[in-house]
Structure 1
């Protein structure tokens, strides 16, 4: 198979296309002929100890996100057929997704046959919509008619929240973006009611309050968000794109105003709650089929993985990048 390898730690320049032996699925695993692989911020911010994934700055496992067709079933796997169109998350135990063949844990795979969706859109949105569904339903306990605020509104994870919240019955969904992304926000087809400048969101949204806030940005935005939350509201900490690791939130503010703050890391959560994945995958596909996850997608061939990651690191994207492989 063709695969992207990184033999040393480093930046995008360590990525290289290589030929590797075709992997065979073991018990409980599925071999998938990959058509598309998503490029996400996780793969830029952390190193990977996989022969088919880039080794970045801080070694850790990476959730590969791929779409394709079933190639072979490992012992004990049922409910799928060879040639069936599927999308897969990963629990970190599979081979790397930047490859023409991917070995996936069966419980992280779901069929996309009945939806007739673009596989590039599926892999760009469904895995993150799964994370959004779990964060909203299991961590934030989101309810119908509640109001949602999403920071970094066009980012990979953030862009998946409005569709899932709309499916869950949200009454109002607002987002924030950096000033240089306001133009892209105006052309977005994501189901936000409004997207505003993150540098002015406190004054722009003065008088509004929210039941749930999604914050993958961190830094001062996290503290400022508390001022727009009502008693009983919840803020989900889902990242630190700002790079500010020193910022602190006064926990007394949470107590005095009866608010809660929870962290959500999908890899950690899915590893201990595997039963939530399949229902969330189904919910994500239904939301995407309903038009609740339309986003701009840039498509590059597998051999241009280095260029894809350079674009991720310079933050020039207004949508998602997908690597095309067997398509």
Structure 2
């Protein structure tokens, strides 16, 4: 089968089409014939060597996938740092608990945008009290966009930081207040909680009221707790039941997600260059 292999650390040109043996499922596993795999910022960081101290090439990147298992359409998230498997491939063996059925009417390229970002947003919000006021950075992005929708639907007053030109999209996600990115360097509203999905950095804890909550998505941007503020960092894990609910919500129109562009699997390097260039609205999806 064809895969995109990262043969060494470096720029996008280290990504190359390669042949590997067809995956053989182990106990409790299934083989997904991949129809779509998203390109995520963590893929670019991994390729460039951000985790070189604990990882050695060659490897296949890719957390998100949508495809088929014995004719059944599924989508799922590969917990990439815990396995040597990646979704930039024509097929991958995964644990049954990593995938959920894709409802009719949801295309594979759209379904593939949901697992990593949707589960990250959902699991981050699970650490926060419901209701109250919430500031979400990166609301134009996948994690932030899902978080805005889920929090607003749960009754929170959401302050969402949007990229320039994306204010209308973010407002349509249910944000009560849409802020420009320049607000991060100015005077921010004081809120009950912050989800730093972009991320903006530890200094953002100043926007949280005493005794509030702050959730980060990376270790370097997790602040030190102060003023009784509860600080947490979300480390996303597969959850088939929760993913199924997210996919059902997309199918029903209760959750919105978007695809910026698709690329043939062989053009993974071009997709990495496009994401690195910035200004992408929606996910970039590889199609084997």
TM-score band, normalised by shorter chain: 0.7 to 0.9
Quick one: structure 1 residues 296 and 192, their matched pair in 2 at CA, closer, same or farther if it must change by over 3 Å? farther
**Equivalent residue number for residue 14 of structure 1:** 14
Counterpart for residue 94 of structure 2: 104
Secondary structure at the counterpart of residue 69 of structure 1: strand
Partner of 1:162: 148
- CA displacement at 1:313 relative to structure 2: 1.8
> 1:43, CA displacement in angstroms?
0.4
Structure 1 118/147 Cα, relative in aligned 2: closer, same or farther at 3 Å?
farther
Cα distance in 1 for partners of 2:2, 2:174 equals: 37
Alignment of 1:308 onto 2:287: no
Cα deviation, 1:143-183, whole Å, max 9, x if unaligned, reads: 1x33221112212322221122234x133222114xxx311
| TM-score scaled by length of structure 1 | 0.76
The aligned residue for residue 51 of structure 2 is 58
Q: Distance in 2 between matches of 1:32 and 1:116?
A: 19
1:40 and 2:40 are equivalent in the alignment: yes
Question: Is 2:116 the counterpart of 1:127?
Answer: yes
CA contact (8 A) 2:76 2:115 kept: no
TM-score by length of 2: 0.85
- The answer to whether the Cα contact below 8 Å between 1:299 and 1:324 also exists between their aligned partners in 2 is yes
State the distance in 2 between where 1:307 and 1:199 align: 30
Other structure's SS at 1:165 match? helix
Match of 1:176 in 2: 161
Instruction: Report the secondary structure of 2:3's partner residue.
Output: strand
Paired residues of 1:63 and 1:91 also in contact (CA < 8 A) = no
1:210 corresponds to 2:191: yes
Query: Taking structure 1 as reference, are residues 216 and 248 closer, same or farther at Cα in structure 2, changes over 3 Å only?
Result: closer
Alpha-carbon distance between aligned partners in 2 of 1:104 and 1:248, rounded to the nearest angstrom = 31
Aligned to 1:74: none
For 1:2, the equivalent position in structure 2 comes to 2
Contact 2:134 2:157 (C-alpha < 8 Å) held by counterparts: yes
Partners of 1:36 and 1:324 within 8 A in 2: yes
The aligned residue for residue 58 of structure 2 is: none
Q: Residue 91 of structure 1 corresponds to which residue in structure 2?
A: 79
Structure 1 equivalent of residue 213 of structure 2: 234
Kindly report the root-mean-square deviation, in angstroms, between the aligned alpha carbons of the 2 structures: 2.6
Deviation of the 1:259 alpha carbon: 1.8
On the 8 A contact 2:142/2:257 being kept in 1, the answer is no
Residues 191/313 of structure 1: CA separation in 2 closer, same or farther (3 Å cut): same
Q: 153-162 vs 306-315, which deviates more? A: 153-162
The 3 A distance-change label for structure 1 pair 10 and 237 is same
Q: Helix, strand or coil: the match of 2:245?
A: helix
1:163/1:288 CA distance change after superposition, 3 Å: farther
The answer to whether the 8 Å contact 1:237/1:263 transfers is yes
| SS in structure 1 at match of 2:218 | coil
Q: Check whether the contact 1:151–1:217 (CA below 8 A) recurs between aligned residues.
A: yes
Question: What's the secondary structure of 2:142's corresponding residue?
Answer: coil
SS of equivalent to 2:280: coil
In structure 2, the CA distance between the partners of 1:218 and 1:89, relative to structure 1 (3 Å rule), is closer
Number of equivalences? 278
